[in-house]
Amino acid sequence: MLMTGGLCTGVCAPRLTSPDGRIAVETDINSNGHPVYSVTFDGKPVFKDSALGLKADEADFTIVTTATPGEITTHDSEWNPVWGEFATIRDHYNEMPLELTTPDGKKLTVRFRVYDDGMAFRYEIPEQGSVNYLTLRDETSEFNLADDLTLYCIPGDYDTDERLYIQTPMSELGENMNLPRHTESSLIPGLAVQTPLLAKRNDGNLYINIHEAALKGYPAMALDADPADLSFKSHLTPDRNGVRAYLQAPFTTPWRSVIISEDAPGILASQLILNLNEPSAIEDISWIKPMKFVGVWWEMFIGKNRTWAYSDKYNAKPGITDYSALPSNGRHPANTENVKRYIDFAAANGIDGVLVEGWNEGWEDWGGWRKNRQFLFDKAYPDFDVEEIQKYAAEKGVKMIMHHETAANAADYERQLDRAFQFMNDHNYPAVKTGYVGHVIPRSEYHSSQWMVDHYNHVAQCAADYKIMVDSHEAVRPTGMIRTYPNWIAQESARGGEYEAFGGNPPEHTVMLPFTRLKGGPMDYTPGLFEMNLPAYGEGSESKGLTTLARQLALYVTMASPLQMACDLPENYERFPDAFQFIRDVPLDWADSKWLEAEPGDYITVARRDKNSNDWYVAGVTDENSRTAVIDFSFLEPGKKYTATIYEDAPNADFRTNPQAYSIRNIKVDAKSKIKQHVAPGGGFAIRVKPN
């Protein structure tokens, strides 16, 4: 369908609306010559006039003489993600290009799309005759709030997203920004926040999520904040010379995305960011398979005095040292015998895979972060028998997950990439967990810079060539690129479950993540913590897990991911086999998802239908307060009878004092059922609903 763009003379004020007409975007040139846009929802302002623009050494697109709207077109289609929260996603929007001309005749297109669940825009730099290489100094996209919204966000940081969320009125942002300053050097100067950011209007009738989609060839965007003016401005990660990006025209920037909803469940249901990404670049997707896994991992976090390194010789250098001549430190769990124990556990419990960290040469000095910081990705330690493990895992029907910690030496990783992936193919590893701990060397890039963004995308693409799935840790926050590279099956890029060993994750954290970080893509959060009393392991564990056991089960559903770890030790699962049954059963891929109740940082109740059966799963989490969830089963097929197996907090459960108290019961439900479900402080519940 084609509509006529608004024709105007003089100052243009074209209007683009969502298919349902509730969201409207207007564009204009303001009195300073800046192109601007504004957004309304149900007639009420969301963003006041907000500037658009790019500034390069070679061209200044922040001041323009004309802003001409092109044709408005409508797009309406459906697509089927390889895996995810829905079997089918509708992609329905109205689109309008806005053609800008600068006083010296340079051209820039701003492309707007308006969906029923939000709006987005991106910059398209056409070829400009002789000036086709641009040294980008700034992007001046603004998001000027019309009201003093309550924000849920983390501080702006070039290197890390591993922080707790703050909740504050925009007008008080600076005062409420208490920072755990563990990576001080990469904090963005001034007052800045990271996206995805959630904001809520006090009347409770407007929720927005600001982020970006399809980040490639460009640095990630944070937002400079001006609380007095209620305004945000894009802040691109620079390189160490202050250049934001080196671009070659024609070039298209990532989308700046704004999910807009009248309620909190609408934010969780939105597929805007995936819709803004390009379809799969991988034709044969038959090898991409969701995975549940256990791993040689948690042992190194709790006070068991275990190390990733094989030896205590801190001058051991990968490729130079003859490791077989070094004595093992005797505290190295990535050894053949221990790995076989995990394989046995996985096989006995229907868990797809086993991850092993600390299997390869180079860990002796990685914690020092100064000297070696180099790993070999095709050289196992002497006590890790790759061939033997390959054979054993195959016999048991278990898949192995490779670990590539790079210690942020991304340049060296790129040099080894083909050899590393060939090594994985040769030894039957279908997935890799990558890691970028520490400051990026030797290029001194930030984790969210253009060069690093290119690196992560290159790794995903190269992995696809080798039919390998990727789970990246410490990489830049995701922007829906999983649609284009569905083998990029999960990311960390937030404060994950590992922090239960470093001070704990307050319950509200996992009630924030689905509204923020998870809008960019699924997370390898590593749920499944059954033993919260970490100090009992001995020295090294600073804190207790801030969660009940039943809540850990709920996280598999409230934070859906096609790659899910069961993080705890096999011996802890063997103590609670009836609760572990839920982890064995829970699907990783969903046909449908319905959020029954939600409020950021307070609670979430979601129902999801398994893609491979007619089972539904319902789960809920709360913050530090207990609550009663209301579950309306009207999503079930009318007339059909189901059995619901409820894994719940016991009446006396509390994440602080009694986290392991749970019970399991069966009830009969149908589409007319409506039940009340107790949730303990820091607790949760998980329900499997099976047709009779």
Query: Terminal CA-to-CA distance of the chain, rounded, Å?
Result: 46
Report the residue number, 115 or 297, with the smaller CB distance to Ca ion.
297
Query: Binding to ligand NOJ by residue 473, rule CB under 6 A?
Result: yes
One character per residue 241-280, x = contact with ligand NOJ (rule: CB under 6 A): ----------------------------------------
DSSP class of 331: -
Query: Binding to ligand NOJ by residue 498, rule CB under 6 A?
Result: yes
Q: Are the C-beta atoms of 180 and 239 separated by less than 8 Å? A: no
3-state DSSP of 442-507:
CCCCCCCCHHHHHHHHHHHHHHHHCCCEEEEECCCCCCCHHHCCCCEEEECCCCCHHHHHCCCCCC
The question of whether 542 is a catalytic residue gets the answer no
Report the residue number, 186 or 581, with the smaller CB distance to ligand NOJ.
186
Work out how close the CB of 368 gets to ligand NOJ at its nearest, in angstroms, rounded to a whole number.
14
420 backbone dihedrals φ, ψ, rounded to 5° = -65, -45
Helices and strands per DSSP (H, E), number in the chain: 10, 38
Work out how close the CB of 186 gets to Ca ion at its nearest, in angstroms, rounded to a whole number.
14
In the list ligand NOJ, Ca ion, none, the entry touching 405 (Cβ below 5 to 8 angstroms by class) is ligand NOJ
> CB under 8 Å to 361, separation ≥6 — which residues?
310, 318, 319, 321, 323, 375, 376, 379, 380, 381
In the list Ca ion, ligand NOJ, none, the entry touching 435 (Cβ below 5 to 8 angstroms by class) is ligand NOJ
In the list ligand NOJ, Ca ion, none, the entry touching 196 (Cβ below 5 to 8 angstroms by class) is none
Site for ligand NOJ in 598-637 (CB under 6 A): none
Q: Are the C-beta atoms of 435 and 428 separated by less than 8 Å? A: no
- The correct pick among 131, 437, 462, 664 for binding ligand NOJ (CB under 6 A) is 437
Report the residue number, 97 or 435, with the smaller CB distance to ligand NOJ.
435
Q: How far apart are CA 288 and CA 483, in angstroms?
A: 12
Report the residue number, 306 or 473, with the smaller CB distance to Ca ion.
473
Report the residue number, 497 or 562, with the smaller CB distance to Ca ion.
497
Work out how close the CB of 596 gets to Ca ion at its nearest, in angstroms, rounded to a whole number.
31
Of 462, 381, 382, the residue nearest 415 (C-alpha): 462
Query: Do the bridges between strand 431-435 and strand 399-405 make them parallel or antiparallel, or are there none, so unpaired?
Result: parallel
Report the residue number, 238 or 435, with the smaller CB distance to ligand NOJ.
435
Work out how close the CB of 499 gets to ligand NOJ at its nearest, in angstroms, rounded to a whole number.
9
One character per residue 386-405, x = contact with ligand NOJ (rule: CB under 6 A): -------------------x
Report the residue number, 237 or 491, with the smaller CB distance to ligand NOJ.
491
Query: Binding to ligand NOJ by residue 299, rule CB under 6 A?
Result: no
Work out how close the CB of 473 gets to Ca ion at its nearest, in angstroms, rounded to a whole number.
5
Site for Ca ion in 455-484 (CB under 5 A): 473
Work out how close the CB of 494 gets to Ca ion at its nearest, in angstroms, rounded to a whole number.
9
Query: Binding to ligand NOJ by residue 157, rule CB under 6 A?
Result: no
Query: Binding to ligand NOJ by residue 492, rule CB under 6 A?
Result: yes
In the list ligand NOJ, Ca ion, none, the entry touching 610 (Cβ below 5 to 8 angstroms by class) is none
In the list Ca ion, ligand NOJ, none, the entry touching 623 (Cβ below 5 to 8 angstroms by class) is none
Catalytic residue among 498, 508, 597, 648: 498
Q: What Å distances lie between residue 31 and 7, 51, 63, CA to CA?
A: 20, 12, 10
Query: Do the bridges between strand 431-435 and strand 469-473 make them parallel or antiparallel, or are there none, so unpaired?
Result: parallel
Q: What Å distances lie between residue 202 and 95, 168, 208, 591, CA to CA?
A: 30, 12, 12, 34
Query: Binding to ligand NOJ by residue 357, rule CB under 6 A?
Result: yes
Query: Binding to ligand NOJ by residue 364, rule CB under 6 A?
Result: no
Report the residue number, 405 or 412, with the smaller CB distance to ligand NOJ.
405
Q: Are the C-beta atoms of 550 and 683 separated by less than 8 Å? A: yes
Query: Binding to ligand NOJ by residue 69, rule CB under 6 A?
Result: no
Q: Which two tokens stand for residue 237?
A: 């990660």
One character per residue 403-432, x = contact with ligand NOJ (rule: CB under 6 A): --x---------------------------
504 C-beta neighbours (distance < 10 Å), count: 18
Q: How far apart are CA 477 and CA 320, in angstroms?
A: 35
Site for ligand NOJ in 544-603 (CB under 6 A): none
Q: Which stretch of DSSP H or E encloses residue 407?
A: none
Work out how close the CB of 436 gets to ligand NOJ at its nearest, in angstroms, rounded to a whole number.
9
Q: Are the C-beta atoms of 550 and 612 separated by less than 8 Å? A: no
Q: Are the C-beta atoms of 104 and 111 separated by less than 8 Å? A: no
Q: Which stretch of DSSP H or E encloses residue 40?
A: strand 35-41
Q: Which residues are catalytic?
A: 498
List contacts with Ca ion (CB under 5 A): 473
Q: Which residues bind ligand NOJ (CB under 6 A)?
A: 297, 357, 405, 435, 437, 473, 492, 498
